[in-house]
Every structure is written in C-alpha cells, then in structure tokens.
Amino acid sequence: MSRPLRWALVLGAAGLALFVLKDKIPDGDELSRSMTGLRPGWLGVAVVAEAMSMATFARLTRRLLTLGGAHLTVHRAVALTYARNAVSNSLPAGPVLSIAYATRQFARLGAAKPLTAATLVLSGVYSTATFCVLCLIALLGQPSTRVPTVLALAALAVTASAAVVLRPRGLRDWLRRRSPGTFDQLRAARGAIRLAGRDRLALIGLALANWLLDVACLAAVCAAAGVTIGPHTVLLAYVAAKAAAVPALIPGGLGVTELGLAGTLIAAGVTGGAAAAVVLLYRLISYWAVLAAGWLAWLLLLDGFRARLAVAGHRLWIAFIRGNVVMDPCAAAYSSCDLWR
C-alpha cells in the first residue's frame, strides 16, 4: 500500500469517527466525574495483565531462539521485548528500526542471521495469525458483521483455492524473480528452526496468551472505571482499536487507536465520559507506561551502562551516608570512621 493511500485511509477513518462522535465527545467535567470513582484494585489487575502480556511475548521470542540453538535468559528476553517495543512505537520508521535493533541484539547472543530472520518472521506469523483468529471471533460474534464476515471468508477461500490449483508455485516463483536475496534469506531461515508439533502448539499458546492478556488489561480498566460491558464487546473494542492502528503512519497509532476504541465503546452504549476514561487509562497503561519501561530497558542493555549505573549508585549511597553523619550531633565521635577516608 502506497504512503499517500495509507494517509488517505487514516485521515478518512479519523474524519468519519470524529463526525460520528462529535455529539459524544465529553467535556472536562464529565471526564473528571468518570475518573473520580475509579477502583484501584482493578487498575492493579490491569497493570499486572499488561506486564504478563509483554512477558509472554518475550517467552515466545526466547523459545524460538532456544529451538535454534541460541541461549537467552528470561530476564534479557523481557528487557529486549520492552526495548524493541519502545523503538517500534515511538520513532519514525519504528518497525524497521526495531528489526535492526533486534538483529543486532540477537547477533550478540551468537544467533546467526538465518536464526534471527526465522525468529523475527515466525514470531510475527504466530502473533498475526492468533490476532486474526481473535478478529474473526469478534466479527462472527456480532450479528451486524456476521454475514459480511462469512461472505468475505468464503471469497477468500475460493480465491486461495483457485490460486493453488492454477499456479501452485506462483508465489514462490514471483518472489524469487522479484527479490532473489529475500527469497534466499527466507529459505535459509526455514532451515534454522525445526518445529515439532509440540513446539507449534506451545508457540500458538504463547502468541494467543499475549493477546488475551492485553484484552484482560482492557477488561480490567473497564471494571476500574465502572463500565459494565460483556466480554464480546471488550474483545470487539480491542480488535477495533488494534486494527485501526495498522495503516496508521503515526508511531504507536496515536489518535487512531483512541478513536477506534472510543467509537466501539460508545456504539455499545457507554457514555462519552466513561468511554474517554477507559481509553485514557488503557492507553496510559498499555502504551505510555510500557513505552517508558522500554526506553529504560534500552538504556540498561547498552554496553557498560549498568556498570556506570552501579558506580553512580554506590557514590550516591556513600554521599547519603556521609550526609547523615554530618547531620549527626555526635559527628565528631565518628571522625575516624572509614566513611570519611
């Protein structure tokens, strides 16, 4: 999809959403009332669910690398996941830079290029496939979208079947002609990781858990804001928000994601103030907090940064102790203490 067309789609969708929601946009007082009755316990559940979601995706990446023969600890996998997310969701061309960053980090672990490519491709495939399953569940569960979804699936199945029958090797031949380097890399990546049936099930489970825990974060935020909607509506709002951000050129889908989530909640009967509170809290936890943690993880993964941080922390601790000694009325009695040497 060309860049101008993507911009046109994003601006058109945003304009349509604003037109539909123009009478539903809450004022400051309504939003303030919605935020005053929050339930802290459910907010805690939302934070834990989001942290578990990130950790689950980290385990997905780690399992793929381990199957390819590379060693990656759980703690480093989690730090890399947060750092990659921060690069991807806050910088222009973030997804491309995130791939380059992950490639460099995996190479430091001893992963060869085919293994790195296989890990990045397979993690994306499993994540995208499980998200598509959630989208289908959300669309098929909604009466207004059930028939169009079934018709679209039938058309897709017929088209795919015809392509396989008429030109079974067409896609592979086209890719080989169009980009021989990419084709060779994909063929090498295919042999870098050998998956057994048990491995595939584990990867599907991890990818699905990653999405479901993020959905649980949204559901917990709704409960914290006193918004009572069914599980299907929560799922529909979630996939609408994520799908709206796909064509967006703005890092993190800022603005588009919020409109998609708010529009679905309001269409389900949630008041404007309550919907705005849910959107604000969910994005604060799932985007901004994760982004801040990601850049912190990026710093901690820099060469020598942890060593310099430990030295700085030691010096601050010594300065704190010395400050307390100076303020002690009996400071003279400690003049020979090792802290002063």
At 266 the pLDDT is 87
Identify the CA nearest to 83 among candidates 296, 328, 316, 322.
296
Query: Which residues, including other chains, have CB under 8 Å from residue 272's CB and lie 6 or more apart?
Result: 21, 24, 25, 26, 30, 266
At 341 the pLDDT is 47
End-to-end CA distance of the chain: 67
- The alpha-carbon radius of gyration of the chain (Å, integer) is 25
Encoding tokens for residue 85? 């997310």
At 7 the pLDDT is 47
How would DSSP label each residue in 173-197? HHHHHH-HHHHHHHHHHHHH----H
Residues, the chain = 341
CA distance 8 to 105: 36
Angle, helices 113-140/197-224, rounded to nearest 10 degrees? 50
Q: What are phi and psi of 153, to 5 degrees?
A: -65, -40
Identify the CA nearest to 143 among candidates 244, 233, 228.
233
How far does CA 65 lie from the centroid of its chain?
A: 19
CA distance 330 to 177: 83
Query: Which residues, including other chains, have CB under 8 Å from residue 187's CB and lie 6 or more apart?
Result: none
Encoding tokens for residue 156? 């897709």
pTM (2 d.p.): 0.79
At 32 the pLDDT is 67
CA distance 103 to 252: 21
CA distance 230 to 232: 5
CA distance 230 to 171: 42
Task: Yes or no: say if 123 and 61 are a contact pair by the CB < 8 Å rule.
Answer: yes
At 340 the pLDDT is 43
Residue type, 274: A
Average pLDDT across each block of 10 residues of the chain; the chain has 341 residues. List them in order: 51 51 56 74 96 96 92 91 93 88 90 89 92 91 81 80 63 61 64 86 96 97 92 92 75 81 86 88 95 93 73 74 60 49 47
